[in-house]
Structure 1
Amino acid sequence: MKKSLFIIPISLIVHILIINLTLYVYTPETYLNVFSIVYYNIAWLITTYSLNFYPTARRDGFMTNLKSFIKLFLIYGLVYFTSFVFFGLNSYSTPYLFLAYLQICALLTLFRVLFYLARNLYRKRGYNTTRVVVIGRDRNLPKLKRIFDNPQYGYSYMGYFDNSTVESESCLGDIESSFNYIFENNVEEVYCMASKLSKAEIQYVMKIADNSLKRIKIIPDNKELFSSAMSIELYGAVPILNLRASPLDLDYSNMIKRIFDILISSFAIVFVLSWLTPLVYILMKIDSKGPLFFKQQRHGVNRDVFWCYKFRSMAKSTTSDTQMATKNDVRVTKLGRILRKTSIDELPQFFNVLMGDMSVVGPRPHMVVHTQEYENSVDRYLVRHFIKPGITGLAQIQGCRGEILDRSDIVNRVRYDIFYMEKWSLALDAKIVFLTIYNAIKGEAKAY
């Protein structure tokens, strides 16, 4: 799904600027107290985060978010007026402060209106669109098509597939031919009419989607379909089942996770890698020949290939890009055993995090050759590629790391990775980071 990653950060910055400039103009005494400035800005961030204010679905508009906008103004208004009592700023009358706050509300509303107008114009020109098809044709198709045909929502409706003999310009063929079309035309979202497909067919479509990085949504009937990650969305009056819903589908969650990644990786680079790198370099030159860093192509989000960096822990070999490290591996150097046992060899990946190829927490990226192997042999393996790979992850703190000896090893990793994607939270990331550090200090049996 195409996303405009800068929309929410820009909106947040503009809102903060509006609040601060208005307060500076109307209540300059406020800016003589640094604590009050911090208070207004932190309070805005906390309030908007609590109300989940910034994430907007593709079909949202100004009126659909009006209720949350009013709620935000009421709560932040209480924060605003409380501050003048809390910080002892009593030189302004209550009516004057009320007019100043109305000015803030008016400017924020104006920007919101202009934002949606600009977004709609942007989409009408063909940008920020998502290519969709429908499998099956029932009474919900015309209703759904009206949603897709609305240029403000940014969908590019390709057509539908159905086994009926009804002729239509938007009919692309029978259901069996839909899969080839989806792959050949880079369709991003697939909508299935449950009333026109058997339970077995829907399960087959779900399996195909999970193993090919396609988003699938179900227009339900009375079939029994359950999934731990399932959520219901309304497209007008049409209920849609999203079978791979994740908190990270929200732009706001992605922004919070990205800020977390930048802070953690910056801290690690400045306060750890800055002195550790030259130390490892000296020890490595004494221990073995070869470069300081080892780089290898790995598969990241949406199966995109990127260069993953590590401190070199092995002697140069022809099997480095195809064979994982094994117990008592002769390729591992003396220094390399220490680096791998303490996970220090993974630390250069903080540069990958800072560049945006990886996250601090997420599914571990695998070698390209292993991805090609597992995507054909392990069910739902590619689901883990809906999010960025991580330096550490839920699977790793549960002991699922290192050499893959049995099929259950990779199956369990995939299960943990999918669970993490479905249940993500900032608190979960923090817990995984803490347990990763704890395990590195304690030492892990499979770290070799």
Structure 2
Amino acid sequence: MTAPQPPILGGDTRGDFPTNTLFFWLADASIIMLSLVVLAALLNASWDIHYWMAALLGGLIFAIYAQPAGAIGTRRGQPADSFIWPITTAWGATAATLTAVAFITQTSNEFSRLVTLCWFLAVPLLLFAWRYAGIHFSKKLYESGRNIKQAAIAGSIDESAELIRVIEDNPDLGLRLVGIYDDRNLNRDSEKETREDLFRGNFKALIGSARTGVVDLVYITLPLKAEKRISDLIRDLSDTTASIHYVPNRMTFDLLHSRWIYLGPLPTLSIRETPFYGADGWLKSLEDLVLALIALVLIALPMAVIAIAVKLDSPGPIFFRQKRYGRDGRVIPVLKFRTMRVCEDGAQVTQATKGDSRVTNLGRFLRRYSLDELPQFLNVLRGDMSIVGPRPHAVAHNEAYRRLIPGYMLRHKVKPGITGWAQVNGLRGETETTEKMRRRVEYDMDYIRNWSLWLDLKIIALTAIRVLADADAY
């Protein structure tokens, strides 16, 4: 599990390929228009004024939607897959607008249905492909030593340790570390012995380097309590052309999906926030709804068979409803097929252990292959759970672990899941030690920080493999 890179890195886009917003718009419009021309020719459509208007409108409308969707511009170190959702969103809105225009103007019959469908499907793939090519080309330039930005750090070696590592370990960022500058005594740093070679002097020396063009970017890592020193440094650097970025200490705040949010005209930095905000929230909900409906259709008959088997195997109810924490710590009833002779859901809940006498004969089989979890697709359909997310724990376990593990409750910033990132990384089953639960929580936090639709699909695929190969569930 790798720690996410600081979000401040790569904020400067000058010198990247490509950087100019107008260039992006022209390139996107060209791809949109030329793809329609090529498809019309390949599919033998009769090209006329209607196709010309569709091509032009497609390019113009996409340019309108692309900027707010985040599909325009790149920054150093930006992964290519970060464009998938913005491009899909912007082009989806464009396609919907074009369809509405054709309907209103009663010109839809002028277009080949096949050409239109292929165009709607091909454009986002082509737009993503050229962005991927551009980012790959930029990385090759950086690795060859061209188009490099000279970066300096204002702060102590200790405060800058992670930033130094990121810059030095990622040549594809296109950054070369000029050095570290600080007004304070170097002897105060614990890292002094190993990184003293990077120290270049005080802030006066930094300003001089920025004025002479030796430094292109300045990353400030001073603690927030040094507000006056930070403001003074920014004021002095305003007399230079260097770009300035502030890098917050993630160890101080344990940033969880932080972002700038405006409260009216006032910008605020969210320290801890759910990733499922705005469009991403809708995408996650749509994913859960579609996949849950498909799953329930496929497992309806197996669930009926299991329900009958549970009833015949031992006395008691078919389903076990246990109170667990959902999103934002709200208590939700989580459904499972009953696998034990007891239904514990009180102030103290004992986890199942290997060879547990409370587990029924059928229950051992159901738990081994996670078949007891199938009713939770109904929880997903109700909106209490997601297919992928941190696994929910019994309320009693939550109350115990929240006192033992700092930040434990942050895993409840999202809906709990039927499967999760921790489970496919070998942390399925009993958490007999606090350390094992701590590792599970670390993976949950990693999932929340780095969520994407593709990560969800990866986890779902890995779950199928792990269930068959993993012997840790009992």
TM-score bracket for this pair, using the shorter chain length: 0.5 to 0.7
Output aligned runs, 1:15-414, within 5 Å.
75-89=31-45, 91-93=46-48, 95-101=49-55, 195-196=224-225, 233=260, 242-244=270-272, 248-272=275-299, 274-318=300-344, 322-323=348-349, 324-414=351-441
Sort the Cα spacing of 1:197 and 1:358 in 2 relative to 1 into closer, same or farther, 3 A: farther
**Which letter does structure 1 place at the counterpart of 2:42?**
F
How many matched pairs? 281
3-state SS of paired residue (2:440): helix
Sort the Cα spacing of 1:238 and 1:262 in 2 relative to 1 into closer, same or farther, 3 A: closer
Alpha-carbon shift at residue 379 of structure 1 (Å)? 0.7
3-state SS of paired residue (2:387): strand
Root-mean-square deviation (CA, aligned residues, Å) is: 4.0
Alpha-carbon shift at residue 261 of structure 1 (Å)? 2.1
Instruction: Check whether the contact 1:266–1:354 (CA below 8 A) recurs between aligned residues.
Output: yes
- Pick one of 429, 434, 437 that aligns with 2:456: 429
- What residue in structure 2 maps to residue 54 of structure 1? none
3-state SS of paired residue (1:394): coil
Alpha-carbon shift at residue 406 of structure 1 (Å)? 1.2
3-state SS of paired residue (1:376): coil
Whole-Å Cα distance in 2 between the matches of residues 282 and 301 of structure 1? 32
1:213-255 per-residue CA deviation (whole Å, 9 max, x = no partner) reads: xxxxxxx968755668676749799987554477x34533333
Whole-Å Cα distance in 1 between the matches of residues 60 and 247 of structure 2? 47
Alpha-carbon shift at residue 418 of structure 1 (Å)? 0.3
Instruction: Check whether the contact 1:317–1:331 (CA below 8 A) recurs between aligned residues.
Output: no
Instruction: Check whether the contact 1:401–1:447 (CA below 8 A) recurs between aligned residues.
Output: yes
**Which letter does structure 1 place at the counterpart of 2:51?**
L
Q: TM-score, normalised by structure 2?
A: 0.51
Alpha-carbon shift at residue 326 of structure 1 (Å)? 2.1
1:369-406 per-residue CA deviation (whole Å, 9 max, x = no partner) reads: 22222222211111111111111111112221222221
**Which letter does structure 1 place at the counterpart of 2:41?**
V
Alpha-carbon shift at residue 102 of structure 1 (Å)? 5.1
Sort the Cα spacing of 1:337 and 1:229 in 2 relative to 1 into closer, same or farther, 3 A: same
Instruction: Check whether the contact 2:345–2:394 (CA below 8 A) recurs between aligned residues.
Output: no
Whole-Å Cα distance in 1 between the matches of residues 248 and 453 of structure 2? 35
Whole-Å Cα distance in 2 between the matches of residues 423 and 253 of structure 1? 12
Instruction: Check whether the contact 2:257–2:448 (CA below 8 A) recurs between aligned residues.
Output: no
3-state SS of paired residue (2:427): coil
**Which letter does structure 2 place at the counterpart of 1:352?**
N
Whole-Å Cα distance in 2 between the matches of residues 254 and 223 of structure 1? 26
Whole-Å Cα distance in 2 between the matches of residues 417 and 307 of structure 1? 21
Alpha-carbon shift at residue 269 of structure 1 (Å)? 0.7
Sort the Cα spacing of 1:318 and 1:300 in 2 relative to 1 into closer, same or farther, 3 A: closer
**Which letter does structure 2 place at the counterpart of 1:99?**
M
Instruction: Check whether the contact 1:195–1:221 (CA below 8 A) recurs between aligned residues.
Output: no
Instruction: Check whether the contact 1:230–1:241 (CA below 8 A) recurs between aligned residues.
Output: no
**Which letter does structure 2 place at the counterpart of 1:287?**
D
- What residue in structure 1 maps to residue 171 of structure 2? none
1:46-75 per-residue CA deviation (whole Å, 9 max, x = no partner) reads: xxxxxxxxxxxxxxxxxxx99988876554
Instruction: Check whether the contact 1:229–1:245 (CA below 8 A) recurs between aligned residues.
Output: yes
Sort the Cα spacing of 1:371 and 1:225 in 2 relative to 1 into closer, same or farther, 3 A: closer
2:469 corresponds to 1:442: yes
Whole-Å Cα distance in 2 between the matches of residues 311 and 66 of structure 1? 58
Instruction: Check whether the contact 2:33–2:58 (CA below 8 A) recurs between aligned residues.
Output: no
Instruction: Check whether the contact 1:301–1:389 (CA below 8 A) recurs between aligned residues.
Output: yes
**Which letter does structure 2 place at the counterpart of 1:339?**
L
Whole-Å Cα distance in 2 between the matches of residues 366 and 349 of structure 1? 14
- What residue in structure 2 maps to residue 4 of structure 1? none
Sort the Cα spacing of 1:372 and 1:359 in 2 relative to 1 into closer, same or farther, 3 A: same
Instruction: Check whether the contact 2:421–2:447 (CA below 8 A) recurs between aligned residues.
Output: yes
1:91-149 per-residue CA deviation (whole Å, 9 max, x = no partner) reads: 342x442234556678889999xxxxxxxxxxxxxxxxxxxxxxxxxxxxxxxxxxxxx
Sort the Cα spacing of 1:375 and 1:70 in 2 relative to 1 into closer, same or farther, 3 A: farther
Sort the Cα spacing of 1:266 and 1:221 in 2 relative to 1 into closer, same or farther, 3 A: closer
Alpha-carbon shift at residue 356 of structure 1 (Å)? 1.8
Instruction: Using the aligned pairs only, state the percent identity.
Output: 36
Instruction: Check whether the contact 2:32–2:59 (CA below 8 A) recurs between aligned residues.
Output: no
- What residue in structure 2 maps to residue 20 of structure 1? none
3-state SS of paired residue (2:448): helix
3-state SS of paired residue (1:308): strand
Instruction: Check whether the contact 1:245–1:422 (CA below 8 A) recurs between aligned residues.
Output: no
- What residue in structure 1 maps to residue 182 of structure 2? none
Q: What residue ranges of structure 1 are gaps of 5+ in the alignment?
A: 1-64, 113-192, 199-219
Alpha-carbon shift at residue 425 of structure 1 (Å)? 2.3
- What residue in structure 2 maps to residue 216 of structure 1? none
**Which letter does structure 1 place at the counterpart of 2:394?**
M
Alpha-carbon shift at residue 264 of structure 1 (Å)? 2.3
3-state SS of paired residue (1:310): strand
3-state SS of paired residue (2:444): helix
Instruction: Check whether the contact 1:232–1:239 (CA below 8 A) recurs between aligned residues.
Output: no
